[in-house]
């Protein structure tokens, strides 16, 4: 079992995940890839073997008004191939997760078109690394648009019509609001798309009251032979947190303490909850993407706590 984390590194100062400058300053994938190389060094040093690459790694690559950014993958082909080689050399499983406004089943043609551009980009990025089939693009079901059956049918139809290189990469994750485990199972049955089980989303969006074991029994066998399935794991935030929010009378941004929503990720992973999850899903083999706010620091802490209990991860 591999443990992974997403995008941002907290455990070593100075590591960035993407060239985040505004378009006026000509950010570029080639800069992001120098950052990614430094992250790979860190992952190697810490023996971390799974990592989600930020979708912002290629700035503005699908922006319709900024064509000068559209060929960054081609422009960085050699650099990408070298990094892919490195990832394989250090046994690193990679993935990506498009932002929530990539909505494949939107009834708005322009949104659909943008989703197609984005999925093409994510797939081509992983292809340019030469990544194997374990490197997936994790997608959500999208919107409901007042008619869930129609929205799901639209997802199925559009998924089946995706270009092959994109369809090959995509896996579908249950979300915290619209598409529960039984929903994505129904989509799987019509498409064959592999399913990612997210424990926290399942906890807050579980209309059929399935146990986590039942949910795992539905999701994990959807992966093809030879590709280790993946799950997302996080603990729910329980403490209030400080956020910046706009005050509507003054129009100013202020700090405020707000209570957590049930669906929000905690800073760290609760080892007891994690061990319980392992116990309930013990008949399956899978890798775990941790979605804790403290990212790699949470991973390293959890790994230590697991080792103290005699549970060793890859």
Partner DNA sequence: CGATGTCAAGGAATC
Partner DNA sequence: GATTCCTTGACATCG
- Binding residues vs DNA (CB under 7 A): 8, 16, 19-25, 55-56, 59-64, 99-103, 106, 108, 110-111, 114, 118, 142-146, 177-178, 243-246, 248, 251-253, 258, 261, 263-265, 293
Shortest distance, CB of residue 21 to DNA, whole angstroms? 4
The helix (H) or strand (E) run that includes residue 123 is: helix 109-129
Shortest distance, CB of residue 311 to DNA, whole angstroms? 27
Shortest distance, CB of residue 225 to DNA, whole angstroms? 34
Q: Which of 283, 294, 293, 289 is nearest to 313 (CA)?
A: 289
Shortest distance, CB of residue 193 to DNA, whole angstroms? 19
Q: What are phi and psi of 60, to 5 degrees?
A: 60, 20
Which stretches within the chain are classed as H helix? Answer: 29-46, 72-75, 77-89, 109-129, 148-160, 164-169, 181-191, 199-204, 212-219, 271-280, 295-308
Nearer to DNA, 83 or 104 (CB): 104
3-state secondary structure of 103: coil
Residue with tokens 């949470």: 298
Nearer to DNA, 143 or 229 (CB): 143
Nearer to DNA, 220 or 302 (CB): 302
Shortest distance, CB of residue 148 to DNA, whole angstroms? 8
Nearer to DNA, 102 or 131 (CB): 102
What are 208's two structure tokens? 């059929």
Could you count the other beta carbons within 10 Å of the beta carbon of residue 49?
19
Nearer to DNA, 25 or 225 (CB): 25
């Amino acid at each position: 079992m591999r443990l992974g984390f997403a995008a941002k590194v907290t455990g070593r100062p100075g590591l960035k995940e993407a060239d985040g400058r505004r378009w006026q300053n000509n950010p570029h994938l080639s800069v992001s890839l120098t950052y990614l190389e430094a992250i790979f060094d860190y992952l190697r040093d810490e023996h971390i073997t799974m990592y989600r690459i930020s979708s912002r790694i290629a700035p503005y690559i699908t922006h319709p008004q900024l064509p000068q950014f559209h060929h960054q993958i081609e422009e960085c082909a050699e650099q990408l191939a070298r990094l892919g080689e490195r990832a394989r050399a250090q046994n690193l499983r990679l993935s990506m997760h498009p932002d929530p406004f990539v909505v494949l089943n939107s009834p708005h043609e322009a949104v659909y078109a943008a989703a197609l551009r984005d999925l093409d980009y994510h797939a081509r990025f992983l292809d340019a690394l030469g990544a194997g089939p374990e490197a997936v693009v994790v997608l959500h079901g999208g919107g409901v648009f007042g008619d869930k059956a129609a929205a799901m049918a639209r997802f199925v139809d559009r998924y089946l019509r995706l270009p092959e290189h994109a369809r090959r990469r995509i896996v579908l994750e249950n979300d915290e609001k619209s598409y529960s485990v039984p929903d994505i199972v129904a989509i799987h049955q019509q498409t064959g798309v592999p399913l990612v089980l997210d424990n926290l989303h399942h906890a807050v969006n579980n209309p059929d009251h399935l146990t986590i074991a039942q949910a795992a029994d539905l999701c994990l066998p959807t992966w093809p032979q030879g590709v280790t399935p993946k799950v997302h794991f996080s603990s729910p935030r329980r403490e209030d947190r400080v956020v910046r929010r706009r005050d509507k009378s003054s129009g100013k941004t202020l700090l405020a303490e707000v209570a957590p929503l049930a669906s929000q990720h905690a800073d760290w992973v609760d080892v007891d909850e994690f061990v319980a999850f392992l116990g309930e899903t013990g008949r399956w083999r899978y890798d775990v993407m941790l979605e804790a706010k403290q990212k790699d620091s949470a991973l390293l802490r959890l790994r230590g706590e697991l080792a103290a209990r005699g549970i060793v991860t890859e």
